[in-house]
Structure 1
Amino acid sequence: MKSLFALALLASSSSAIAASIGPEHQLYKRDLATSDPSYPSPWMDPEADGWEDAYAKARAFVSQLTLLEKVNLTTGVGWEGEQCVGQNGAIPRLGLRSLCMHDSPVGVRGSDFNSVFPSGQTAAATFDRILMNRRGYAMGEEAKGKGVTVLLGPVAGPLGRMPEGGRNWEGFSPDPVLTGVGIAETIKGIQDAGTIACAKHFIGNEQEHFRQVGEARGYGFRIAESLSSNIDDKTMHELYLWPFADAVRAGVGSVMCSYQQVNNSYACQNSKLLNDLLKNELGFQGFVMSDWQAQHTGAASAVAGLDMTMPGDTEFNTGRSFWGANLTIGVVNGTVPEYRIDDMAMRIMAAFFKVGKTIDQPPINFDFWTSDTYGPVHWVAKQGYQQINYHVDVQADHGVLIREIAAKGTVLLKNTGVLPLSKPKFVAVIGDDAGPNIRGPNSCSDRGCDDGTLAMAWGSGTANFPYLVTPDAALLAQAVADGSRYESILTNYAPAQTRSLVQQANVTAIVFVNADSGEGYINVDSNEGDRRNLTLWRNGDDLVKNVSSWCSNTIVVIHSTGPVLVTDWYDSPNITAILWAGIPGQESGNSITDVLYGKVNPSGRTPFTWGATRESFGTDVLYTPNNGAGAPQQDFSEGVFIDYRHFDKADAPLIYEFGYGLSYTTFEYSNIQVQKSNPGTYTPTTGTTAAAPTFGNFSTDLNDYVFPSNLQYVYQYIYPYLNTSDARNASQDPHFGQTAAEFLPPNATDSTSQPLLRSSGKSTPGGNRKLYDVMYTITADITNTGSIAGDEVPQLYLSLGGPDDPKVVLRDFDRIRINPGQTSQFRATLTRRDLSNWDTTLQDWVVSEYPKTAYVGSSSRKLDLSVVLA
C-alpha cells in the first residue's frame, strides 16, 4: 500500500517532483514552476454570512461523534462499494446514512427516469440568469428525488483555455464573468432544491491529456507524474479563480479539487490552492473533496486542506486507503492535528445542513452499477442482495424547461432572410447528426461514440436519456403539420443520393453536422477526450460544401462542444443560414425546430469566439509530453489573454466574435448614462481568527479502534477501523515512527490564532466585502426597430486602461424581451472587483489609475455606446 505519508512534501511545493527529475528528463528543478506552501489549513468560521444556522446544527451533531465516526465522514467507502459513484461512511449510531456523491452536471448519471439537460455551455449561450437558475433547480430536484446528497457540478474548470479541450462543454464559457454568473446561478438553484452542489474542478484543469498517469500510460505515454498547469499569480486571480469566487459567494457546499498538478504540486494536496486561495482568501466554508483517485498522500493532503477523499481507495478496487484506518492512526498519534479532523467533519455537516437536509434523509433509490431492480448493494463485493433500483421517476415537467433552454441557447450565426421558415414547400434534411443512433441513444457507455445526433458529449458528465427527440423526428412532424414535402438522408456518406435529392426544385436543404469531445478515459475516433482538431466530424465539412454546391438554399445546423472552423464555407452565397445548437439535451429536435420555424425568436449569443484558423486561438492542447518521463509542463504563458481577449490583442482572424448572435428582428442602442456610487474606500481586512476549535477528547489506545468482532467485513470496503492494534502493521507505513515535524511542512499542525489576509473577508465568503460594492451604474436604451417581438442581450464591457490589460472585458449583461417599436432600459453595474486588477506585490485587488471606459453593445466587437468613468 502507498504510505499514508508518501510524497508528503508535495503538499507544499514542487520540490519532491523537481528533485526527482534527472538529466534524461530535459527539464531541471530550476526550470519548474513552484507552488508556495501555505499552512495551517484554515478552520471553519461558524459566523460566516449565510452559514450561521448550518454551523450551529453541525456543531450539535459533530460534538457527539467519535473519532471513528469522524473518519467515516471524511473517507469514501471505495470504488463500487455502494450504490452511488461515491459514498462516504455512515453514522448508524446517530441515524445518518452514507452521503451519496454523484454525477453529473447535466443529470443523474447511470440512472433511469431522469432528465438530460442542455450542457452548461448551451445554458451560458442563453445569457439568461433566470434560465441558468431554473436549470440548476430542476437538476437539484431530480438529484434529491434519487437520494443524491451531493451533485457533482457545476463546472468552472475547465474554463476553456483551449477550444479543443474535451470537457469545455460541461462548463460555461472561457469568459470568467459569464462562467461566474453561470456557476453561481446554477449553485443557487441546485442548493435551493435541497441538494449540495459541488463546484469543480479546482483549478487549471484545462485539458484531458496527461491529467492522470495511469490514463496517459494506457494511451502509450511514459510519464511519471500528471501534467502541471503552470499559472502565475495575476492570471490565477483575474481569470481562473474568478468564477470560483462567485461560487463561494453563492454559498456552494463543496468544491472538487482536480487531477492535475498546479505549479508542480498536485491540486488535491496543494496548500497554496486549498488553504490559501480557497479557504483563506475566498473564505470557503464548505468541504473540499478529491476527484476520483486524485488523492496522492494521507497526512499531507489532510493538512493541505482536503476534507473528503473520493472514492476512498488509493486506486480503484484495491481496498486500501490513504485515509480510513490510516487517518485514524494519524489523528491518534498526533500526526494529523485533532482540530483538522474536527474541521473536516464540521465542514461536511455544515454543507449538509445548509441546503436544508435532515439526518433522516430519504434512501438512495437507484444503483449506478446496474439497471437491474435487484442486486448486491455492495457491488464489487457482491454482498447485500436486495432491491437496489426503485425506478423512481423524477422528470416532472422538466422537458418543457429543457426545450426552452436549448432553443434560447441556440445561436443564429448567419441569416440572409430565409429564416424563419413558414410552411416551406419541400424540406430535405441531410446528415447523420439529424437522426438517431440506430443502437439506441444510451447504447454507448457514457455516450462514448458519435453515432446519430449529438445531444450530449461523453464522459462522467453524462446521464441516460429518458428519450431523445432527434431533429429528423421533430422536423418531420412539423412538415406533416404544414403539409410540406419532407425527405431525409441520415448519413454523411451518400453523395449520389444526396445530390439527387437537394438538386430538386423548391428545396430547402437543412444540413446537420457536429463535433464531439469528452473525458479522457474514453477514446472516440482517436480523440482521447480532447479534440484532435477543430474541424467537423464524420466528413462534415465536405458534406456542407457539397450540399451547398448543389442547392442554393442550404441551412447549416451545428451541434458541437465548442467552436469549429467554418472558414472554407460560411460565406458561400448558397449557405443562407447557420445555427449553432450546442449540446441541447433530450429535446434537441424540438428546440431546433422551434427556432427554425420562428416559434422562438433566436437570441442565443456565442459563449466563445469562432476563429478563422486553429492557430488563430493562440492556445492549444499539449498532445505530446514535453518533459521526458517527468511531469508534462503546460505553461499558461498567454496570461489572461484567452478567447476574445487574445483575438483583440493579437488582431487574429475571426469569423464570429464572442457574444455574437442574430435575431429575426433588429435592435438599436442609444442614450448611455452613468451614475457613480459612493461606497467609500476599500478597507483591507485586518485581525486574526480564533484558535482552532476541537470537539472532545478521544482514546489514544489503539485497541479501541480495532475492527469489531460483531461487524461483518465487506470485501474491499474502506473502514476507519484498524486490522491490528500494532500501529506499524496496521498502517503498513514504511515511514512509521517519524514525527509530523520530520516530514510535514512548517506550521502544518499549528492550531493557534492566525492572521487574516488583507484580501479576504471577515466572515464574508467570496473575499473582502468591499470588493462587491457597486461603484457605477450604467444604463442604456434599447429599441426594437423590427416587426416582431424578440429578446435582446445587451452586454457591458470595460476597458481597464492599462498597457497590460485586455482591450475590453465582459462585466455584466442581461436578456430583455422587447416588443416591436418598444424601448427598454438596460441597467448594469460595475463593482470594485470589476474595476480592479490583482496586485501581486500587495497581494490584493487594486483599482489602477489608468482611465476606464465602459461600453455597451450586442457583442464584444459591436460596442455602439461608450462612456468614460470619472
Structure 2
Amino acid sequence: MAYAAACVALLAVPILAQYPEGSLYSPPISSGYGNWSAAYAKAHAFVCNLTITEKVNLTTQTGTGASYSYSLGIIPRVGFRGLALDDSPTGVRSTDYTSAFTAPLNMAMTWDRDLIYAQAYANGAEHKAKGVNIAYSPVVGPLGRSPESGRIWEGYSPDPYLSGVSFGLTVAGMNAAGTIAVGKHFVLYEQEHFRQVREWNDWHLPNATFNTTEPYSSNADDRTLHELYLWPWYDAVHDGMAAVMCSYNQLNNTQACQNNHLLNDILKGEMGFQGFIVSDDGSQHSGVLSALAGMDMTILGETSPNGELGLGISFWGPNLTQSVLNGSVPEWRLDDMATRIMAAYYYLDQDQDFPELNFAQGDLSTFGYLYPHAMVDYQQINEHVDVRDHHADIIRRVGANSIIMLKNVNNTLPLNKPKQIAIIGEDAGPSIYGPNGCSDRGCDNGTLAMGWGSGSTNFPYLIDPLAAIQARALQDRSVVQYVLDNYDTALIDSVVAQATVCLVFINCDSGEGYIEIDGNYGDRKNLTAWMRGDDLVNEVAGNCSNTVVIAHTPGPIIMEPWIEHPNVTAVLMAGLPGQESGNALVDVLYGAVNPSGKTPWTIGKQRGDYGTDVMYVANAPVPQLNFTEGLYIDYRHFDQAGIAPRFEFGFGLSYTTFSYSNLRIQPVSGASPTTASAAASSAQTTVNPSVCPRYALNASAYTFPSTISSLTDYIYPYLPRNSTFTVGPAYPSASVIATSPGTPGGAPALWDTVYTVTVSIANTGSVAGQEVAQLYLALGNGEPLRQLRGFNKTMIQAGASADVSFTVRQRDVSIWDVPSQSWVDVRTLGTAVGVSVGASSRDLRLNGTMAAVGGVGSGSAAGNYSASVTAATTSAGGPAVTEYSDGQLQVPTEYSDGQVQVPASATG
C-alpha cells in the first residue's frame, strides 16, 4: 500500500502487499546474518533441547522474589545458571566497589570517538566483572526533542548523527567487554510526564490533577520517525547491538511493546536486528499481543502496568506457557524468542568463563536472604568485588575533554597562580548527606555530578570542585575562600570583594519520572539555574571584576540574565562528570587540558526559541504528544526559523585558535548511487516454520512439579496443578506469519562510502589543542538547511597543521521516501548536495558541492516536506481503534487467561 507522508496510524500498519490477505502479525525469524551465524547455530542447538516451560523460563524475569532481582532463565536440567540483568549507563546500579562514570551526555560533549568507546568498554567490563550478563545501557530514547526532557542526560544529543555515532560506539565498546548492551528506549520516548498511568494517578496526583488512562502517545509521521528518531538505531544494529528495550509510551496510539509494525517490520525486518527485545518496568501491556508483535523478554514480573510490579505475577511465565499450549502464541514464536536471547548470549561469548553474579542490587549487606520475600536461604549475598580497575583515569579524561568553554575574555583562563580565589555556590562543595545520601541520586545537594533515576549508580567517592581546587591552590600558594550557601548574600559579598578571581558554581537537575524534586517530575519545569543561580552569578559579578561561571547541568540552560555582564569573563559547561568531577575541572581551569568540548545541543536565548516543549498538562485521558515540528528540532529549528542562538550547536572555545583551508571533495571510485531499499526479505509462506521439534500438547507435562515448592513472589513457568486448557490455535491461519529479517543495519548499500571530504586545519595559536572539525550537508528536498554528517577530533601542535578527512556514506546523502518505503539518495533526484566544513553549525569556514546524478525522481522525497500529525481520537477523547486501510482491526481482544478473541468480521 502507498504511505501518506503524515499518517497518524502509520506505525501500526505494515506493508500489506508483502503478506497474504488478512495477516496481522509478522514476526521475523532470524537464522543469524553475518557474524551472528555461529551464535545462532549454538542457540538453535541449545533451545531445541528445551521443553516449552524451559523456553518460557528464558523469556520471563523472576520478579523481585530474589535478592538477585533482575534474573531469568535458570534451567537446572541442562546446567544453565540463567542470566543476570542490571542498569545503567553510568555504572552498575545500586552496588559497591564500582565506578560512577560521566553521564553519556558528557561522552557526546567530547565529540571524541576514542573516549566514547573507552568509557563504554570500561562500563561493560565492570558489569561483566560483577556477573551481569545484560546491562540496560546505552540510551538514545529520549533523543532530545525538548531540552526540558528529564532523561536527555542519559543519552547524547538531539542530532541523530552525533547520537548515532555515540550510540553505536557505546554498544560496540560494551559488547567488546563481554556485556550485552541493551539499547533503550525504543522509540519516541521523549518525556517523563504521563509515561505511566500509575505515576500520575497514584503517586503524583496530590500535586497534579490528572486522570490519565493510558501512557501518552507520541504521534509522528514516517519520515520524521526514520530520519530523526530511528537514525541512531541503524548505527547500533549495524555495530552489533544484541538487545533492545521497548519504551513506555504509545506510538500513534499503539503501545510500543506490542507494536507489530515498529518491532517486527521495522526493527527486526527493515533494520535486520538479530537480538532480543525486552520490556521496561511497566511497559508491557499484554501477554499474547506483545509476544506476537515481537517482544522476546519481559522485565521483572507484572500483569498490570498500572499496579505494583514484581509481585510474583506476570503477563508471561505460566500465562505464556498456557498461550503456547492453547495456540494463542505459535510455538515457533516462543522458539524464536528463546533463540534470540541465547544468540545474544553466545554472540558475546558468555558461555566461556563468565563470572558468577556476585552482588544483590539495592542491598549492600554481606549476608541476607537469597529470597527475601519468602525469607528463604540466608547466605552471603554480596562478595563486594572491586571491579574499578584503572577506570578513574578514563572518567577524568572524559570529564576534562567534555568541558565546553563558552566564554573567555582576555584569556581569563587558564588560571595562573591567582593570588586569592573565591569559590561561591553550593554546587562547588560536598553534600551534607554524602554522595549517595539520596536514593537513586534523587536530590540536588552539593555539587551535581549525576542525574537521578534508574540511570544512576553509587559513587565510590566524589571529588568535588572545592576539594580539587584547594589541592591545586596549595601548590600555587593561592588563598582560597568559599561560601557554599547560595542565600548568604552578606558573606558572599564580603568574600568576593577580596578575590583575584571568583568561581561561581550553578546547576540544575533532572531525571526519571518516578522521582520528584521541587515540582520537577523528572522533566525540568524550566530551563533556568536552580537555587537562585542566576541571581547568584549577578551578585558575584557585581562585586568581582573577574567572575568565572561553572555550570553542572543535564542539558542546556538559559544564560541571558548574566551572560553579557562585563564582569563575567569566562563560562564553562561541565555537564554531569561523575566521580572525578573536581579533578577534571581543575585540569581545564589550570590548562593541563586544553578545553575541546563542543555543545551537543543549541543554547537558546529564551525557552520559546526551541519550538518544542514537554506536555505538562494532559490534553486527554490518553495524552496526545504530536510531533508537528517534524524534522525541525534543536539547531534544525533555529536555522529554519531564523532564530539567533546564544551558542549554536557544535560550539566550543579553546586556549588556541585554528584556521581551515583546502577543501577537497572526492567521489569514491566505483560508488554509484542506488535506491537502498529498506524492505524486509520476502515473507515465508508457512505459518508454522520448523524451528525446533514440536512437543506434544500434554498439560500434565507443564504443571507445577510436586518436587518443588513455590517461593513467595517468584515467577515460575509452570501451570497450576490440575490445570486444563483447550488446544488451539486461536488464530486463523493467516493471522501470524513468519517473515525473513533484513541484514543488520538495513540495506548494505546504506553503508557504502560514496565520497571523502578532506580539509587542512592549522593551529594558529601558541599551545597544542584539539579541534572538532564538523561536516554539514544540505540535502534539499524539504530537508533542514544543514545537517551534521561527519566530525573528526584532531590534536594539532602549536604552529602545525593536519589534514582531516570525513567519509560520506550513502545513508548520509539519503532521505526516507514514504511511498517506496526506502532510503533514496538525493543526488538521484537531481539534487546537488551542499557541503560545508567548520568549527560549529554556524561557523562554517569552507563550502562546496557534490554533484547531482540522473533526473528528478518521483515520490514524496522529491517534493517539499511538511509534518502534519493529528492524533486519532474518539469523541470521548480517548484513542481510536487503529484500522488497516482495508478495514481489518489491528488489535484482537485479549482474555485474562492469555487466549485471544479474533473479530468474526473484518469490517471494523
With normalisation by structure 2, the TM-score equals 0.88
**Equivalent residue letter for 2:222:** D
- 1:479-558 matched pairs, under 5 angstroms: 479-504=473-498, 506-558=499-551
Larger mean Cα displacement after TM superposition, 376-385 or 214-223: 376-385
Aligned mates of 2:56, 2:807 — CA distance in 1? 46
**Equivalent residue letter for 1:577:** A
- Contact 2:100-2:579 within 8 A present in 1 as well: yes
- Contact 2:405-2:573 within 8 A present in 1 as well: yes
Aligned to 2:719: 722
- 1:131-530 matched pairs, under 5 angstroms: 131-217=115-201, 218-220=203-205, 221-314=210-303, 315-358=308-351, 361-416=354-409, 417-504=411-498, 506-530=499-523
2:652 equivalent to 1:661: yes
Helix, strand or coil for the counterpart of 1:656?
A: coil
Q: Deviations over 1:387-424 (max 9, x none)?
A: 00010000001001100000000000000111000111
Q: Deviations over 1:542-567 (max 9, x none)?
A: 00011011110000000000000001
Aligned to 1:767: 746
Aligned mates of 2:347, 2:524 — CA distance in 1? 39
- Contact 1:96-1:359 within 8 A present in 2 as well: no
With normalisation by structure 1, the TM-score equals 0.92
- Contact 2:766-2:798 within 8 A present in 1 as well: yes
- Residue 84 of structure 1 deviates from its aligned partner by 4.0
Q: Deviations over 1:452-475 (max 9, x none)?
A: 000001000000000000000000
2:842 equivalent to 1:857: no
Aligned to 1:67: 52
- 1:4-19 matched pairs, under 5 angstroms: none
Helix, strand or coil for the counterpart of 1:111?
A: coil
- Residue 87 of structure 1 deviates from its aligned partner by 1.4
Question: Aligned pair in 2 of structure 1 residues 41, 32: CA closer, same or farther (>3 Å)?
Answer: closer
Residue of 552, 566, 581 corresponding to 1:573: 566
- Contact 1:83-1:364 within 8 A present in 2 as well: no
- Contact 1:660-1:860 within 8 A present in 2 as well: yes
Question: Aligned pair in 2 of structure 1 residues 567, 687: CA closer, same or farther (>3 Å)?
Answer: closer
- Contact 2:665-2:755 within 8 A present in 1 as well: yes
Aligned to 1:868: 849
Aligned to 1:105: 89
Larger mean Cα displacement after TM superposition, 194-203 or 327-336: 327-336
Q: Deviations over 1:318-338 (max 9, x none)?
A: 322111111111111211111
- Contact 1:705-1:725 within 8 A present in 2 as well: no
- Residue 701 of structure 1 deviates from its aligned partner by 1.2
Aligned to 1:680: 672
Residue of 696, 720, 726 corresponding to 2:693: 696
- 1:724-803 matched pairs, under 5 angstroms: 724-727=721-724, 740-741=730-731, 747-751=734-738, 754=739, 761=742, 764-802=743-781
- Contact 1:44-1:285 within 8 A present in 2 as well: no
Aligned to 1:118: 102
Q: Deviations over 1:190-226 (max 9, x none)?
A: 0100100000000000000000000111211201111
Residue of 626, 633, 641 corresponding to 2:624: 633
Aligned to 1:76: 61
- Contact 1:329-1:727 within 8 A present in 2 as well: no
Question: Aligned pair in 2 of structure 1 residues 850, 37: CA closer, same or farther (>3 Å)?
Answer: closer
- Residue 705 of structure 1 deviates from its aligned partner by 0.9
Aligned to 1:93: 77
Question: Aligned pair in 2 of structure 1 residues 686, 237: CA closer, same or farther (>3 Å)?
Answer: closer
Aligned to 1:709: 706
Aligned mates of 1:571, 1:156 — CA distance in 2? 34
Larger mean Cα displacement after TM superposition, 408-417 or 686-695: 686-695
Aligned mates of 2:253, 2:802 — CA distance in 1? 51
- Residue 359 of structure 1 deviates from its aligned partner by 6.7
Question: Aligned pair in 2 of structure 1 residues 269, 359: CA closer, same or farther (>3 Å)?
Answer: farther
- Contact 2:402-2:574 within 8 A present in 1 as well: yes
- Residue 725 of structure 1 deviates from its aligned partner by 3.3
Gaps of 5+ in 2: 1-6, 16-23, 852-908
Aligned mates of 1:40, 1:300 — CA distance in 2? 9
- Residue 32 of structure 1 deviates from its aligned partner by 7.8
Aligned mates of 1:31, 1:194 — CA distance in 2? 40
Q: Deviations over 1:744-793 (max 9, x none)?
A: xx844224xx477xxxx4xx201000011111100000000000000000
Question: Aligned pair in 2 of structure 1 residues 192, 32: CA closer, same or farther (>3 Å)?
Answer: closer
Aligned mates of 2:505, 2:470 — CA distance in 1? 14
Helix, strand or coil for the counterpart of 1:793?
A: strand
Aligned mates of 1:536, 1:41 — CA distance in 2? 49
Helix, strand or coil for the counterpart of 1:721?
A: coil
Gaps of 5+ in 1: 1-29, 729-735
- Contact 1:676-1:776 within 8 A present in 2 as well: yes
- Contact 1:448-1:524 within 8 A present in 2 as well: yes
**Equivalent residue letter for 1:808:** R
- Contact 1:77-1:87 within 8 A present in 2 as well: yes
Q: Deviations over 1:13-36 (max 9, x none)?
A: xxxxxxxxxxxxxxxxx9988732
- Contact 1:111-1:366 within 8 A present in 2 as well: yes
- Contact 2:335-2:691 within 8 A present in 1 as well: yes
- Residue 703 of structure 1 deviates from its aligned partner by 1.1
**Equivalent residue letter for 1:647:** F
Larger mean Cα displacement after TM superposition, 769-778 or 682-691: 682-691
Helix, strand or coil for the counterpart of 1:558?
A: strand
- Residue 313 of structure 1 deviates from its aligned partner by 2.4
- Contact 2:448-2:576 within 8 A present in 1 as well: yes
**Equivalent residue letter for 1:414:** K
Q: Deviations over 1:108-151 (max 9, x none)?
A: 00010000100111100100111111111000000001010111
- Residue 572 of structure 1 deviates from its aligned partner by 1.1
Question: Aligned pair in 2 of structure 1 residues 238, 686: CA closer, same or farther (>3 Å)?
Answer: closer
Aligned mates of 2:168, 2:68 — CA distance in 1? 25
Q: Deviations over 1:586-640 (max 9, x none)?
A: 000000010000000000001100000000000000000101xx21000000001
Residue of 803, 806, 811 corresponding to 1:825: 803
Aligned mates of 1:595, 1:686 — CA distance in 2? 50
- Contact 1:857-1:863 within 8 A present in 2 as well: yes
Helix, strand or coil for the counterpart of 2:175?
A: helix
Q: Deviations over 1:798-837 (max 9, x none)?
A: 00022x2101000010110000111101100111110011
**Equivalent residue letter for 1:700:** L
- Contact 1:84-1:101 within 8 A present in 2 as well: no
Helix, strand or coil for the counterpart of 2:35?
A: coil
Residue of 25, 37, 43 corresponding to 1:52: 37
Aligned mates of 1:583, 1:319 — CA distance in 2? 37
**Equivalent residue letter for 1:834:** D
CA RMSD of aligned residues (A): 1.7
Figure out how many residues of one structure are paired with residues of the other and give that number.
818
Aligned to 1:42: 27
Residue of 790, 812, 828 corresponding to 1:812: 790
Q: Deviations over 1:708-766 (max 9, x none)?
A: 111121111111001133336xxxxxxx8986337xxx844224xx477xxxx4xx201
